[in-house]
Structures are given as structure tokens and as C-alpha cells.
Chain A
Amino acid sequence: MTNPLEAKTSLAPIDKSDRAFLLQETSALTKRLFIQLVRRPSTLIAGVLQPLIWLVLFGALFSNAPEGMLPGGMSYGRFLGAGVIVFTAFSGALNAGLPVMFDREFGFLNRLLVAPLQSRSSIVFASVIYISSISLVQSLAIMVTASLLGYGWPGISGLVLVLVTLLLLVFAVTAISLGLAFVLPGHIELIAVIFVANLPLLFASTALAPLSFMPTWMGWLAGLNPLTFAIEPIRAAYSGPLDLSVVLFHAPYGDVNGYECLSLLMVLALGLFVFIRPILNRKLS
């Protein structure tokens, strides 16, 4: 029997396809993130609890507002539901860079970079899969709770629209967060950026109030805010039969329908991944 310590590696051990290697390393890296989640579930729990508290408390805050105040005469709780769902997915995706940043800081990333990965994109793929899954679980939890609170349920086609919209937003924001995780010097700086970006982007969107409530300058901000482009299709999915050709909001620069919302999110997600690619290539090459 040969000694187990004997060197064996050679230049041509490949008996699997490149894609199988990529799948193997991506699934191993994703598994690591899920093991961390299972053993340290506090962030997931907090990530579900916080939006539920928002939904219950914020929803109650305006429960006695005059009827007919909101577009389509919907209740504030139903109006808020879409905003909270999007905000939850957005916040989760904004944190996507944190595990990567910690891996950089603690040297674990070097362990990955020394290995003969088929593609170092597997590090990014694992983060995207992980964050997308978490965001969807959190969003579903909120949708179920909202439904129990009497704020409605979007139906099957509506649910598909909600999930597609959320995934597009999550991809885009995850790209930004991962880009920042490789550019910023440490986790303190990354957390600072997350803090600064989080609430202002929420307030400057249609999550908490419709565009018609806002002054023109803020209407411009909200009309250009990607969160609005995710919130409005979801709100529409809750409002009735799914029709993406219907105008979803009247921005100061013009009317925006459902197709345009989804197209913008798709362009944003693809554009941001193209934009951060040179950063990732430089850092991971």
C-alpha cells in the first residue's frame, strides 16, 4: 500500500468537466455559508423580526388615516406591505458583502485563493445564492404575516412577480455590496456605508408614502430610486389581476409601467455585475 502522505498531485488529474468542478466548489462554498447560518441564526431571526415589527407598528400608526387617502383606496397596512417586503430584501442584500469582508480580514479568503478553483467567480456565486435564498425566506415570512394581519395575498401569478422582482433587486444590491466588500478597507467602513445607505433609500422611495404625498424634489428622488421600481410592481401584485402594461406610478419625468420597472431592475442588476467585474477580477486574480 502506498504511503498516504506521498505527493500525488499532477498537472493532468482532470477527470471531470470544468462545469462539474465549478458546481463542486460553488456548492461547497454555499454550504459553508448555510452551516454558519444554521449555527448562528440570530441574523436571520433579526432579519425576519425587524420587518414584522415594522409591519405591525408602522401599519398601526396610520390605521385611522382617512379612507381614500391612498391610491385605489387601499388600507395603509396593505400599502406598507410591499414597501416592507422590498426593504427587507434590500437590507439583506446590502449585507451580502459582510461575510466576504470578514473572510478578507481574517485571511480565510487567502485559503480560497490559494486553491485551484475552476473559477474564482464561485466565491461570488456562493454569496449570491446564499443572500437570494435568505431574502426570499424573509420575504415569504413577511408575506405570510401580512396575509394573517389581513393585508392580503398576491395569488400565484402575483407571487411569481413578487419573487422575480425581489430577485432582480437582490442581484443588483448584492453586486454593489460585494463590490464594496472588495474595495473598502475593512468591515467598519462597510457597515458605515450600509448605515448611510439603508434608511435614506427607504425614505426616498414609495415604501412608506405614495409619490403624490411628496414635494417635487423628493418625487424626483423617489422616482429614480430602484427601490420604487421594485415596490410598485409588488404593490400592483397585491392590488388585483396582474397586468404589467398598466402604469404603476406617475414620476415627475413621466409615467412608468410594470414592464419598465422590471426592465430597469434587470438592466441595473446586469449593469452592476458588469461594473464590479473588473474590481472582482483585480482582487481575485
Chain B
Amino acid sequence: MNMVELTRLKKSYGSINALRDLELKVPQGCLYGLLGPNGAGKTSTLRVITTLLAPDSGNVTIAGINALKEPHLVRNLLGYVAQEVALDKILTGRELLQLQGNLYHLKADKCSQRIDLMIAKLDMSSWIDRRCGTYSGGMKRRLDLAAGLLHQPRLLVLDEPTVGLDFESRSTIWDLLRELRTLGTTILLSSHYLEEVEMLADHLAIIDNGQVIAEGTPKQLKNQLGGDRVTLRVREFSDEIESEMVGNLLESLDVVNQVVINKSQGFSLNLVVNSEDALPLIRAKLNKAELPIFSISQSQASLDDVYLQATGRTLMDAELAVVGKRDPKLESKQAMR
């Protein structure tokens, strides 16, 4: 059974299409990663799932319930840890958790019992009775996570839960997420950290430009690439014509399964190879054609290669491309209700 099913989801903000026929299925009990650069549509997807955002069209089903028709039932089942931690800086952490417990209609004794457990689990006892305004980023995130888990949700949705955190806080959160998964909670987490998703997620979807462009387990996705990757630059800065020529030349080799030209990295070549000893053969071919080699390296396929394969650019390049184009003011307005 799927905990989350999104079908042909569309959402636009004025002329910007945030979601374009997005399809997603999150199996029950798994830790599912949504990977993609900033502005890809991850947060919009999570806001639709958490009933904060109504899509322009499409269907949203959570645990078999139509979330667009019966959002109040869905809200009972899910916990949400948003990207921007919204705490009341005047309240103490404990008061915020008490408020959260009341909003989820927990009984007083159950609520205080749960709060004590969360404090112990997330190691918050030394600062939980201080006002939230004095907390560091890691403390805020832990408190937010505790608030999201207080009512024991069946689906936990986390939007970039470890962005900007120190390693210790990230590690605490990762451990907790792993434990929750073993206990049967379905976790949907968005991130633009490749390593985080690769390390944590059972399943993942790569989102780009409002669509899911690849989906599966990390292993499946990497296996689909067909083998190791060779990154090659014949010169520090090649042009497209030369890269295509070199690509055509190397495609004739038996060890090369596929050639991808990385346009955002000076038209460097990413080759999918089926042998661990591909480099000598590639070097020989280039020497024979009297082509220079500026750099060449072979590595096992990564999720970044999966992303590159699907979009023609690396995740980091995609991030850099949107830096400066984003309008934080506009995004903040879009998030406002």
C-alpha cells in the first residue's frame, strides 16, 4: 500500500509553473527522499501533501484518503517539519510542545508524558525551559521535529530538515529518522544534499522543473546508468562541437555505453563505461586521434550522475543556476496564508 499518491499534480504561481503533472507514490513504511535543486518544486509538493497548498489540478491521496476532499482526516495522520522553523520566540520549548499537544487534542497526562519522552529522545532537557528566541539553529530544528512527532504521526514530512545544521545536530536527526523507519513510520524528506538522501532513503525521486524525472531505490537508479562513470576533459575549455566530436569518437569503443555532455561544466564529457579498466582504452583512442587530455577520472556512479543523466547538468550546477534568480520575498509571500 502507498502512504502517499500524487497524480498529475499541477500548481502555478502566476506565470511560474511550480508543479507540472507531478506523479509520486510513497510506499508505506519507507524513508523516501525527494531530491532536487532549489526551486525544483520540492517544497510545493510537500505543502500540497500537508494540506497547506491546494493544487490547481490533480489528485492527492494520503493513506487511502482523498486529501483534497477530507484534509482534516489527513492532518490527524501527519507530522510536518517545515523548512523555515516557525517557533514563537516568547514561548519556551516546553510551552510550544504543550500548545502543539493541545492542537492535536492530546489528553493532558498523555501530552506531558509524550513531551517528556521527546525531550529525552532529542536530548533537549538542558534548554527546553528556555525561551525559543534563545535557541540555536540545531535546537530549533530538534524542537520542531519533536513537535512534528508529538502525536505519533503515521507519516512524517520533513522539508530540508538538516539544512544549515552542524554535524552533531544532523547526526541526531538522522539517527532518529532511521529509528522511526524501523518502527513503521513513513518518512518523506526533501533535500538537496545528495549524500543525505543516498545514505538515508530507501526510495527516492529526483524532481526537476516541477516533474519527477527519475524514481526508484538509490541502487536501482545507479544501476540504470549501466556502470562506472568516466569524466573527461580534452581541454580546460572545450566548445560544444569539439565535445560532440570526441563523444562520437569514444562511443565507438565497446567499453563506452553512453556519452553525456555536461554543458554547464565547459562541455566536459561523462561517459558510462562497462569496465573497471576503461581509462587505458579511452586514453589510447584519444592518442590515436591526436587529441589532448586535460583531465580524466573514473568513479562509481552516484546520484549526481543520475541527475546529470536525466537533466544534462549536475545538481550543484542546477543550484548555482537558480542562485540570484530566486526571489525570497516572493517565495515568502507564496508561503503566507
Contact = CB atoms under 8 A, between A and B. Distances in A.
A112 B151 CA distance: 14
B50 A114 contact: yes
A150 B111 CA distance: 52
B105 A116 contact: yes
A24 B105 contact: yes
B75 A116 contact: yes
Contact of A9 (B91, B117, B154, B335): B154
Interface in A1-15: 3-11, 13
Given A9-B154, A109-B337, A115 B86 contact: no
Contacts of A11: 65, 73, 76-77
Contacts of B309: none
Nearest to A110: B52
Contact of B103 (A4, A7, A117, A283): A117
Contacts of B51: 113-114
Contact of B121 (A4, A27, A28, A35): A4
A110 B183 contact: no
Contacts of B149: 5
A107 B90 CA distance: 15
Interface residues of B, number: 48
A115 B147 CA distance: 11
Nearest to B131: A39
Contacts of A40: 90
A260 interface: no
Nearest to A8: B152
A226 B141 CA distance: 47
Contact of A25 (B84, B90, B103): B103
Interface bracket on A: 35 or more
B179 interface: yes
Contacts of A112: 103
A7 B91 contact: no
Contacts of B151: 8-9
B38 interface: no
B44 interface: no
A35 B72 contact: no
Contacts of A277: none
Contact of A116 (B99, B104, B117): B104
A28 B152 contact: no
Contact of A5 (B65, B72, B131, B179): B179
A106 B153 CA distance: 24
Contacts, number: 118
Give the dominant DSSP class at A's interface. Answer: helix
A25 B102 contact: yes
Contacts of B75: 114-116
Interface in B320-337: 332-333, 335-337
A3 to B, nearest CB: 6
B100 interface: yes
A213 interface: no
Interface string B74-107: 0111101010101110110001001110111100
B258 interface: no
Interface string A102-126: 0011111111111111100000000
Interface in A215-234: none
Contacts of B114: 4
Contacts of A3: 183
A7 B105 contact: no
B185 interface: yes
A266 interface: no
A24 B105 CA distance: 7
Nearest to B180: A5
A185 interface: yes
A64 B131 CA distance: 52
A36 interface: yes
A182 B99 CA distance: 22
A250 interface: no
Contacts of A35: 90-91, 95
A284 interface: yes
A66 B333 CA distance: 57
B184 interface: yes
A40 B333 CA distance: 27
Contacts of B118: 4
Given A3-B183, A4-B117, A7-B154, A36 B76 contact: no
B47 to A, nearest CB: 8
Nearest to A106: B86
A114 B184 CA distance: 22
For the complex of A and B, the 3 pairs showing the least CB-CB separation, nearest first, are: A28-B102, A107-B86, A8-B152
5 contacts: A6-B183, A6-B184, A9-B152, A27-B102, A108-B87
Given A7-B152, A108-B88, 8 more contacts: A6-B184, A9-B151, A28-B103, A40-B90, A110-B52, A111-B103, A114-B75, A116-B76
